[in-house]
Amino acid sequence: MTHHADIVVVGGGPVGAAFALALHASGIAVTMLESRERKTVVADARPLALSHGSRLIFERLGIWDLLAPATAITRVHVSQRGSFGRVEMTAENEQVPALGYVIDYAHLSATLSQAITVRGLSVEYGANVTAVRAQQPAVECNERKLDAQLVVVADGGLIDGLAPQKSIDYHQTALTGFVQTDIPHRYTAYERFTSDGPLALLPSNGGYALVWTTRAERAEQLYESAPREFLVALQKEFGARAGTFTGVAQRACYPLMLRYATHIARPGVVVIGNAAQSLHPVAGQGFNLGLRDAWELARSICTTPVQELGSVAVANAQRARRRMDRYAGIAVTHGLVQLFSNDFFPLRVARGIGTTFTGCVPPLRDFFARRMIFGMRG
Ligand SMILES: Cc1cc2nc3c(=O)[nH]c(=O)nc-3n(C[C@H](O)[C@H](O)[C@H](O)COP(=O)(O)OP(=O)(O)OC[C@H]3O[C@@H](n4cnc5c(N)ncnc54)[C@H](O)[C@@H]3O)c2cc1C
Protein backbone atom coordinates (compact mmCIF):
# COMPACT_ATOMS: atom_id res chain seq x y z
CA MET A 1 0.00 0.00 0.00
CA THR A 2 1.24 3.51 -0.82
CA HIS A 3 1.32 5.92 2.11
CA HIS A 4 0.59 9.59 1.42
CA ALA A 5 1.86 12.77 3.06
CA ASP A 6 1.96 16.35 1.75
CA ILE A 7 5.68 16.49 2.49
CA VAL A 8 8.13 13.66 3.15
CA VAL A 9 11.37 14.66 4.89
CA VAL A 10 14.23 12.23 4.26
CA GLY A 11 16.65 12.29 7.21
CA GLY A 12 15.92 13.31 10.80
CA GLY A 13 19.31 14.85 11.62
CA PRO A 14 19.36 18.36 13.11
CA VAL A 15 18.42 20.08 9.82
CA GLY A 16 15.60 17.69 8.81
CA ALA A 17 14.21 17.73 12.36
CA ALA A 18 14.31 21.56 12.56
CA PHE A 19 12.49 21.74 9.21
CA ALA A 20 9.75 19.36 10.38
CA LEU A 21 9.35 21.35 13.61
CA ALA A 22 9.06 24.61 11.63
CA LEU A 23 5.99 23.15 9.88
CA HIS A 24 4.34 21.98 13.08
CA ALA A 25 0.91 23.64 13.37
CA SER A 26 0.96 24.68 9.67
CA GLY A 27 -1.79 22.17 8.83
CA ILE A 28 0.53 20.47 6.29
CA ALA A 29 0.86 16.67 6.69
CA VAL A 30 4.60 16.03 7.15
CA THR A 31 6.21 12.59 7.58
CA MET A 32 9.88 12.36 8.53
CA LEU A 33 11.88 9.22 7.67
CA GLU A 34 15.06 8.56 9.65
CA SER A 35 17.29 5.54 9.07
CA ARG A 36 18.52 5.46 12.68
CA GLU A 37 16.54 3.25 15.04
CA ARG A 38 14.45 5.16 17.59
CA LYS A 39 16.32 3.87 20.61
CA THR A 40 19.79 4.45 19.15
CA VAL A 41 21.54 7.16 21.15
CA VAL A 42 23.47 9.49 18.84
CA ALA A 43 27.02 9.15 20.15
CA ASP A 44 28.44 11.99 18.04
CA ALA A 45 30.09 14.52 20.39
CA ARG A 46 31.27 16.94 17.66
CA PRO A 47 30.93 20.48 18.96
CA LEU A 48 28.65 22.84 17.08
CA ALA A 49 29.03 26.60 17.38
CA LEU A 50 25.53 27.97 16.85
CA SER A 51 25.39 31.56 15.63
CA HIS A 52 23.18 34.18 17.25
CA GLY A 53 21.03 33.94 14.09
CA SER A 54 20.50 30.20 14.76
CA ARG A 55 19.48 31.03 18.30
CA LEU A 56 16.77 33.34 16.92
CA ILE A 57 15.46 30.53 14.70
CA PHE A 58 15.42 28.06 17.61
CA GLU A 59 13.59 30.62 19.73
CA ARG A 60 10.89 30.89 17.08
CA LEU A 61 10.65 27.08 17.01
CA GLY A 62 10.24 27.08 20.81
CA ILE A 63 13.38 24.94 21.17
CA TRP A 64 15.99 27.34 22.50
CA ASP A 65 15.24 26.94 26.22
CA LEU A 66 15.39 23.14 25.83
CA LEU A 67 18.95 23.36 24.45
CA ALA A 68 20.41 24.63 27.74
CA PRO A 69 23.15 24.48 28.81
CA ALA A 70 24.71 25.93 25.65
CA THR A 71 27.90 27.86 26.46
CA ALA A 72 27.90 31.46 25.22
CA ILE A 73 30.79 32.84 23.14
CA THR A 74 31.23 36.53 23.90
CA ARG A 75 34.66 37.00 22.31
CA VAL A 76 36.35 35.43 19.29
CA HIS A 77 40.11 35.66 18.84
CA VAL A 78 41.56 34.81 15.41
CA SER A 79 45.33 34.46 14.82
CA GLN A 80 47.83 32.58 12.68
CA ARG A 81 50.68 30.46 13.98
CA GLY A 82 54.17 31.79 13.26
CA SER A 83 53.06 35.23 12.09
CA PHE A 84 51.70 38.56 13.24
CA GLY A 85 48.14 39.85 12.88
CA ARG A 86 44.99 39.03 14.78
CA VAL A 87 41.29 39.86 14.76
CA GLU A 88 39.10 40.15 17.82
CA MET A 89 35.33 40.24 17.70
CA THR A 90 33.16 40.82 20.73
CA ALA A 91 29.45 40.51 21.39
CA GLU A 92 29.52 44.03 22.79
CA ASN A 93 30.82 45.51 19.51
CA GLU A 94 28.22 43.60 17.49
CA GLN A 95 25.45 44.51 19.97
CA VAL A 96 24.25 40.95 20.48
CA PRO A 97 24.06 39.01 23.79
CA ALA A 98 26.61 36.50 22.45
CA LEU A 99 28.41 35.91 19.14
CA GLY A 100 27.44 32.24 19.31
CA TYR A 101 26.74 29.27 21.55
CA VAL A 102 28.50 25.92 21.86
CA ILE A 103 26.50 22.72 22.04
CA ASP A 104 27.31 19.16 21.00
CA TYR A 105 25.69 17.29 18.10
CA ALA A 106 24.34 14.49 20.31
CA HIS A 107 22.58 16.89 22.69
CA LEU A 108 21.11 18.92 19.81
CA SER A 109 19.85 15.74 18.05
CA ALA A 110 18.33 14.33 21.24
CA THR A 111 16.56 17.63 22.04
CA LEU A 112 15.07 17.95 18.54
CA SER A 113 13.96 14.28 18.48
CA GLN A 114 12.30 14.74 21.86
CA ALA A 115 10.46 17.88 20.67
CA ILE A 116 9.24 16.00 17.58
CA THR A 117 7.81 13.24 19.79
CA VAL A 118 6.23 15.65 22.28
CA ARG A 119 4.56 17.67 19.50
CA GLY A 120 3.18 14.50 17.92
CA LEU A 121 4.85 14.93 14.51
CA SER A 122 4.77 11.90 12.23
CA VAL A 123 8.19 10.23 12.20
CA GLU A 124 9.39 6.74 11.28
CA TYR A 125 12.69 5.49 12.67
CA GLY A 126 14.60 2.62 11.07
CA ALA A 127 13.31 3.97 7.72
CA ASN A 128 16.13 3.67 5.20
CA VAL A 129 15.22 5.60 2.04
CA THR A 130 16.73 4.02 -1.07
CA ALA A 131 15.22 6.12 -3.87
CA VAL A 132 13.74 9.61 -4.29
CA ARG A 133 11.79 10.71 -7.36
CA ALA A 134 10.11 13.94 -8.39
CA GLN A 135 7.10 11.98 -9.74
CA GLN A 136 4.73 10.11 -7.44
CA PRO A 137 5.24 7.72 -5.73
CA ALA A 138 8.06 9.89 -4.49
CA VAL A 139 10.09 7.81 -2.05
CA GLU A 140 11.09 4.16 -1.68
CA CYS A 141 11.85 3.09 1.82
CA ASN A 142 12.23 -0.37 3.38
CA GLU A 143 10.60 -1.86 0.23
CA ARG A 144 7.58 0.43 0.66
CA LYS A 145 6.49 3.39 -1.43
CA LEU A 146 5.39 6.80 -0.15
CA ASP A 147 3.96 9.57 -2.26
CA ALA A 148 4.03 13.26 -1.52
CA GLN A 149 3.67 16.64 -3.19
CA LEU A 150 7.19 17.50 -2.08
CA VAL A 151 10.20 15.49 -0.87
CA VAL A 152 12.69 17.44 1.27
CA VAL A 153 16.02 15.64 1.37
CA ALA A 154 18.09 16.24 4.54
CA ASP A 155 20.05 12.98 4.61
CA GLY A 156 23.47 14.61 5.03
CA GLY A 157 24.31 13.76 1.40
CA LEU A 158 24.36 9.99 1.81
CA ILE A 159 21.92 8.92 -0.92
CA ASP A 160 23.90 8.53 -4.15
CA GLY A 161 23.00 10.27 -7.40
CA LEU A 162 20.22 12.45 -6.01
CA ALA A 163 21.48 15.81 -7.20
CA PRO A 164 24.49 16.72 -9.38
CA GLN A 165 27.39 17.43 -7.03
CA LYS A 166 30.87 18.92 -6.95
CA SER A 167 33.40 17.78 -4.39
CA ILE A 168 36.94 18.56 -3.27
CA ASP A 169 38.86 16.33 -0.88
CA TYR A 170 40.83 18.46 1.61
CA HIS A 171 43.02 15.51 2.66
CA GLN A 172 42.49 16.87 6.15
CA THR A 173 40.82 15.35 9.20
CA ALA A 174 39.13 17.23 12.04
CA LEU A 175 40.14 15.79 15.38
CA THR A 176 37.64 16.76 18.07
CA GLY A 177 37.72 16.36 21.83
CA PHE A 178 37.12 18.06 25.14
CA VAL A 179 40.18 19.73 26.70
CA GLN A 180 40.81 21.45 29.99
CA THR A 181 43.20 24.24 30.85
CA ASP A 182 44.46 25.73 34.10
CA ILE A 183 42.62 29.05 33.56
CA PRO A 184 38.89 29.67 32.93
CA HIS A 185 37.75 30.19 29.34
CA ARG A 186 35.95 33.48 30.03
CA TYR A 187 33.58 32.69 27.14
CA THR A 188 36.34 33.21 24.57
CA ALA A 189 36.63 31.13 21.39
CA TYR A 190 39.96 30.88 19.54
CA GLU A 191 40.53 30.15 15.87
CA ARG A 192 44.23 29.66 15.13
CA PHE A 193 45.35 29.05 11.57
CA THR A 194 48.33 26.74 11.16
CA SER A 195 49.93 25.54 7.93
CA ASP A 196 48.31 22.10 8.49
CA GLY A 197 44.83 23.57 8.95
CA PRO A 198 42.81 25.65 11.45
CA LEU A 199 42.64 24.79 15.14
CA ALA A 200 39.60 25.97 17.11
CA LEU A 201 38.98 26.05 20.85
CA LEU A 202 35.34 26.69 21.73
CA PRO A 203 34.33 27.42 25.34
CA SER A 204 32.23 24.52 26.55
CA ASN A 205 31.05 24.03 30.13
CA GLY A 206 34.21 24.05 32.30
CA GLY A 207 36.74 23.67 29.44
CA TYR A 208 37.02 23.85 25.68
CA ALA A 209 35.66 21.81 22.80
CA LEU A 210 38.56 21.29 20.42
CA VAL A 211 38.35 21.09 16.62
CA TRP A 212 41.90 20.50 15.39
CA THR A 213 42.17 20.20 11.64
CA THR A 214 45.32 18.61 10.35
CA ARG A 215 46.70 16.19 7.77
CA ALA A 216 44.87 12.87 7.86
CA GLU A 217 47.95 10.81 8.97
CA ARG A 218 48.82 13.27 11.72
CA ALA A 219 45.23 13.27 13.03
CA GLU A 220 45.36 9.49 13.27
CA GLN A 221 48.62 9.61 15.24
CA LEU A 222 47.23 12.30 17.55
CA TYR A 223 44.04 10.31 18.04
CA GLU A 224 46.01 7.29 19.17
CA SER A 225 48.64 9.11 21.22
CA ALA A 226 48.74 8.98 25.04
CA PRO A 227 46.95 11.92 26.72
CA ARG A 228 50.22 13.46 27.94
CA GLU A 229 51.81 13.30 24.50
CA PHE A 230 48.62 14.73 22.94
CA LEU A 231 48.54 17.70 25.33
CA VAL A 232 52.20 18.53 24.65
CA ALA A 233 51.56 18.50 20.88
CA LEU A 234 48.45 20.68 21.33
CA GLN A 235 50.31 23.17 23.51
CA LYS A 236 53.05 23.43 20.91
CA GLU A 237 50.56 24.02 18.11
CA PHE A 238 48.24 26.42 19.94
CA GLY A 239 50.64 28.28 22.25
CA ALA A 240 49.92 29.59 25.74
CA ARG A 241 47.06 32.03 25.06
CA ALA A 242 44.44 29.81 26.76
CA GLY A 243 46.78 28.68 29.57
CA THR A 244 48.32 25.22 30.08
CA PHE A 245 46.37 22.23 28.75
CA THR A 246 45.74 19.80 31.59
CA GLY A 247 43.35 17.13 30.29
CA VAL A 248 41.75 15.63 27.19
CA ALA A 249 38.73 13.35 26.70
CA GLN A 250 36.32 12.10 24.00
CA ARG A 251 38.67 12.25 21.03
CA ALA A 252 37.05 11.57 17.61
CA CYS A 253 38.06 12.02 13.95
CA TYR A 254 36.09 13.35 10.93
CA PRO A 255 37.62 13.23 7.42
CA LEU A 256 36.87 16.49 5.62
CA MET A 257 35.73 17.36 2.15
CA LEU A 258 33.79 20.09 0.45
CA ARG A 259 30.74 18.68 -1.31
CA TYR A 260 27.87 20.70 -2.69
CA ALA A 261 24.88 20.14 -4.93
CA THR A 262 24.84 22.31 -8.05
CA HIS A 263 21.00 22.11 -8.20
CA ILE A 264 19.30 22.21 -4.80
CA ALA A 265 15.70 22.28 -6.01
CA ARG A 266 13.54 20.97 -8.81
CA PRO A 267 9.75 20.58 -8.87
CA GLY A 268 8.86 18.00 -6.20
CA VAL A 269 12.33 17.67 -4.60
CA VAL A 270 14.35 20.15 -2.48
CA VAL A 271 17.70 19.38 -0.87
CA ILE A 272 18.73 21.10 2.41
CA GLY A 273 21.49 21.00 5.06
CA ASN A 274 24.58 18.89 4.49
CA ALA A 275 22.79 17.19 1.61
CA ALA A 276 22.95 20.56 -0.17
CA GLN A 277 26.43 21.57 1.05
CA SER A 278 28.88 19.88 3.32
CA LEU A 279 31.57 22.39 4.34
CA HIS A 280 34.94 22.44 6.07
CA PRO A 281 34.28 23.19 9.79
CA VAL A 282 36.50 26.30 9.76
CA ALA A 283 34.44 29.21 11.11
CA GLY A 284 31.62 26.83 12.19
CA GLN A 285 29.23 27.55 9.32
CA GLY A 286 27.79 24.18 8.13
CA PHE A 287 24.89 23.63 10.48
CA ASN A 288 24.05 27.34 10.73
CA LEU A 289 23.77 27.47 6.94
CA GLY A 290 21.71 24.25 6.84
CA LEU A 291 19.35 25.61 9.48
CA ARG A 292 18.78 28.70 7.34
CA ASP A 293 18.01 26.39 4.35
CA ALA A 294 15.35 24.70 6.49
CA TRP A 295 13.93 27.92 7.89
CA GLU A 296 13.66 29.72 4.53
CA LEU A 297 12.01 26.69 2.90
CA ALA A 298 9.50 26.32 5.73
CA ARG A 299 8.62 30.02 5.52
CA SER A 300 7.95 29.86 1.80
CA ILE A 301 5.96 26.61 2.16
CA CYS A 302 3.69 28.05 4.86
CA THR A 303 2.29 30.55 2.34
CA THR A 304 1.89 27.99 -0.50
CA PRO A 305 -1.33 26.05 -1.16
CA VAL A 306 -0.77 22.32 -0.50
CA GLN A 307 -1.49 21.31 -4.11
CA GLU A 308 1.34 23.62 -5.27
CA LEU A 309 4.06 22.33 -2.93
CA GLY A 310 5.73 20.42 -5.76
CA SER A 311 5.50 23.34 -8.19
CA VAL A 312 8.21 25.03 -10.22
CA ALA A 313 7.49 28.21 -8.22
CA VAL A 314 8.46 26.61 -4.87
CA ALA A 315 11.65 25.15 -6.38
CA ASN A 316 12.62 28.46 -8.01
CA ALA A 317 11.91 30.43 -4.84
CA GLN A 318 14.19 28.17 -2.76
CA ARG A 319 16.98 28.37 -5.32
CA ALA A 320 16.73 32.16 -5.44
CA ARG A 321 16.48 32.65 -1.66
CA ARG A 322 19.42 30.40 -0.86
CA ARG A 323 21.83 31.18 -3.71
CA MET A 324 23.81 34.02 -2.17
CA ASP A 325 24.02 32.65 1.39
CA ARG A 326 25.07 29.16 0.18
CA TYR A 327 27.69 30.29 -2.28
CA ALA A 328 29.10 32.82 0.19
CA GLY A 329 29.34 30.08 2.88
CA ILE A 330 31.06 27.72 0.44
CA ALA A 331 33.42 30.44 -0.88
CA VAL A 332 34.37 31.81 2.54
CA THR A 333 35.12 28.45 4.18
CA HIS A 334 36.92 27.06 1.12
CA GLY A 335 38.81 30.35 0.63
CA LEU A 336 39.98 30.39 4.27
CA VAL A 337 41.26 26.81 4.01
CA GLN A 338 43.14 27.58 0.77
CA LEU A 339 44.51 30.88 2.01
CA PHE A 340 45.80 29.69 5.37
CA SER A 341 46.77 26.04 4.78
CA ASN A 342 50.30 26.69 3.52
CA ASP A 343 53.58 28.12 4.78
CA PHE A 344 54.65 30.14 1.73
CA PHE A 345 56.49 33.11 3.32
CA PRO A 346 55.16 36.02 1.16
CA LEU A 347 51.63 34.71 1.62
CA ARG A 348 52.18 34.44 5.38
CA VAL A 349 53.20 38.13 5.48
CA ALA A 350 50.23 39.12 3.29
CA ARG A 351 47.90 37.20 5.61
CA GLY A 352 49.41 39.00 8.62
CA ILE A 353 48.80 42.37 6.96
CA GLY A 354 45.26 41.31 6.00
CA THR A 355 44.32 40.14 9.48
CA THR A 356 45.90 43.21 11.12
CA PHE A 357 43.97 45.46 8.75
CA THR A 358 40.69 43.62 9.40
CA GLY A 359 41.27 43.80 13.16
CA CYS A 360 42.06 47.53 13.06
CA VAL A 361 39.21 48.69 10.84
CA PRO A 362 35.99 48.29 12.84
CA PRO A 363 33.54 48.52 9.86
CA LEU A 364 35.43 45.72 8.06
CA ARG A 365 35.61 43.58 11.22
CA ASP A 366 31.90 44.18 11.89
CA PHE A 367 31.03 43.30 8.28
CA PHE A 368 32.64 39.85 8.71
CA ALA A 369 31.19 39.39 12.19
CA ARG A 370 27.62 40.09 11.05
CA ARG A 371 27.92 37.66 8.10
CA MET A 372 29.07 34.98 10.57
CA ILE A 373 26.16 35.77 12.88
CA PHE A 374 23.31 36.17 10.41
CA GLY A 375 24.50 34.78 7.04
CA MET A 376 24.75 36.83 3.84
CA ARG A 377 21.59 38.76 4.59
CA GLY A 378 23.04 39.90 7.93
C1 LIG B 1 34.19 18.24 13.21
C2 LIG B 1 33.01 19.05 12.77
C3 LIG B 1 32.71 20.22 13.44
C4 LIG B 1 31.62 21.00 13.02
N5 LIG B 1 31.37 22.18 13.65
C6 LIG B 1 30.34 22.95 13.25
C7 LIG B 1 30.07 24.19 13.91
O8 LIG B 1 30.75 24.59 14.85
N9 LIG B 1 29.01 24.93 13.49
C10 LIG B 1 28.23 24.52 12.43
O11 LIG B 1 27.29 25.26 12.06
N12 LIG B 1 28.46 23.36 11.79
C13 LIG B 1 29.50 22.56 12.17
N14 LIG B 1 29.73 21.37 11.53
C15 LIG B 1 28.82 20.94 10.45
C16 LIG B 1 27.57 20.21 10.99
O17 LIG B 1 27.95 19.08 11.73
C18 LIG B 1 26.68 19.78 9.83
O19 LIG B 1 26.46 20.86 8.96
C20 LIG B 1 25.30 19.27 10.33
O21 LIG B 1 25.47 18.14 11.14
C22 LIG B 1 24.40 18.93 9.15
O23 LIG B 1 23.16 18.42 9.62
P24 LIG B 1 22.18 17.61 8.65
O25 LIG B 1 20.96 17.33 9.46
O26 LIG B 1 22.07 18.32 7.35
O27 LIG B 1 22.96 16.27 8.28
P28 LIG B 1 23.40 15.04 9.25
O29 LIG B 1 23.82 15.58 10.58
O30 LIG B 1 24.38 14.28 8.45
O31 LIG B 1 22.05 14.21 9.42
C32 LIG B 1 21.54 13.41 8.37
C33 LIG B 1 20.49 12.46 8.93
O34 LIG B 1 19.92 11.70 7.83
C35 LIG B 1 19.86 10.33 8.20
N36 LIG B 1 19.94 9.54 6.95
C37 LIG B 1 21.04 9.35 6.17
N38 LIG B 1 20.74 8.59 5.10
C39 LIG B 1 19.42 8.29 5.20
C40 LIG B 1 18.51 7.51 4.39
N41 LIG B 1 18.93 6.89 3.28
N42 LIG B 1 17.22 7.39 4.79
C43 LIG B 1 16.77 8.02 5.93
N44 LIG B 1 17.60 8.75 6.73
C45 LIG B 1 18.90 8.90 6.38
C46 LIG B 1 21.05 10.12 9.11
O47 LIG B 1 20.87 9.00 9.97
C48 LIG B 1 21.08 11.44 9.91
O49 LIG B 1 20.29 11.39 11.06
C50 LIG B 1 30.82 20.58 11.92
C51 LIG B 1 31.12 19.38 11.25
C52 LIG B 1 32.22 18.63 11.68
C53 LIG B 1 32.54 17.35 10.95
Predicted confidence (pLDDT) per residue in 131-186, tens digit: 998 877 689 988 889 999 999 999 998 777 677 789 999 999 999 999 999 999 99
pLDDT per residue as tens digits for the range 90-128: 999 888 899 999 999 999 999 999 999 999 999 999 999
Q: How far is it, in rounded angstroms, from Cα 283 to Cα 279?
A: 10
The pairing of beta strand 3-10 with beta strand 30-34: parallel
State if residue 176 touches ligand 1 by the CB under 6 angstroms criterion.
yes
Which pLDDT score is estimated for 133? 87
The protein residue with its alpha carbon nearest to ligand 1, atom 5, reads 48
Please report which helix (H) or strand (E) contains residue 184, including its range. none
Residue 355 has pLDDT above 70, yes or no: no
Q: How far is the CA of 13 from the centre of ligand 1 (A)?
A: 6
The pairing of beta strand 188-194 with beta strand 197-204: antiparallel
Residues of the chain with pLDDT > 70: what percent?
Answer: 87
String of b and e for 116-155 (b: at least 16 CB within 10 Å)?
A: beeeebebbeebbbeebeeebbbbebeeeebbbbbbbbbb
Average pLDDT score over the chain: 89
Residue 353 has pLDDT above 80, yes or no: no
The answer to whether 266 and 152 are in contact (CB under 8 A) is no
Q: How far is the CA of 275 from the centre of ligand 1 (A)?
A: 9
Q: How far is the CA of 110 from the centre of ligand 1 (A)?
A: 13
Neighbour tally for 167: CB within 10 Å? 10
DSSP letter assigned to residue 70:
P
Which pLDDT score is estimated for 196? 86
Q: What is the dihedral of CA 269, 104, 50, 176, to 10 degrees?
A: -100
